[in-house]
């Protein structure tokens, strides 16, 4: 069975793992999921991510980040552009998530990047998700 929206699957698994207070989660890997995980790590929302093989198939392991009081660093993680309704933004239309406290992940012709980097490079693209 093929998955129609692997990014939504990734975000939902992260959301569910946070609600269940799990330390980490494992899911089928793809280049796009690895790029999203890389951005989440660079921005400080997750501790780490790694690739491994299980039964010959690549898997992605994401280690979630919690404060000493068991609060997650991710308050909200939301899919914006969906397969049924793609949302594209120009370089001047990229939204600021919580006035810059959060991050919007944008898919540009140069690859996935944060909203700040896309603005800096003067690029628009598909608005993948927002995190804060």
- pTM score of the predicted model: 0.93
pLDDT of residue 3: 78
Query: Rounded to whole angstroms, how far apart are CA atoms 80 and 83?
Result: 10
pLDDT of residue 2: 63
pLDDT at 58 exceeding the cut of 60: yes
Residue limits of CATH 3.30.1490.10 in the chain: 77-131
Torsion sign (Cα): 48, 52, 55, 59: positive
Q: What is the mean pLDDT of residues 119-131?
A: 98
Q: Which residue has the tokens 């012709």?
A: 109
Beta bridge partners of 4: none
Domain with residues 77-131, CATH architecture? 2-Layer Sandwich (3.30)
What's the CATH number for 6-64?
Answer: 3.30.1370.30
Residue limits of CATH 3.30.1370.30 in the chain: 6-64
For 7-31, the pLDDT digits (tens) are 999 999 999 999 999 999 999 999 9
pLDDT of residue 27: 97
pLDDT at 6 exceeding the cut of 80: yes
């Amino acid at each position: 069975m093929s998955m129609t929206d692997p990014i939504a699957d990734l975000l939902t698994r992260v959301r569910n793992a946070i609600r269940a207070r799990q330390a980490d989660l494992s899911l089928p890997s793809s280049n796009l999921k690895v790029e999203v995980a890389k951005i989440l790590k660079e921005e400080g929302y997750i501790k780490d991510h790694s690739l491994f093989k299980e039964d010959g198939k690549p898997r992605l392991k994401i280690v979630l980040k919690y404060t000493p009081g068991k609060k997650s660093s991710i308050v909200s993680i939301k899919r914006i552009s969906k397969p049924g309704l793609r949302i594209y933004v120009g370089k001047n239309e990229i939204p600021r998530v919580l006035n810059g406290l959060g991050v919007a992940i944008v898919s540009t012709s140069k690859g996935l990047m944060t909203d700040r980097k896309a603005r800096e490079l003067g690029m628009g693209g598909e608005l993948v998700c927002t995190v804060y």
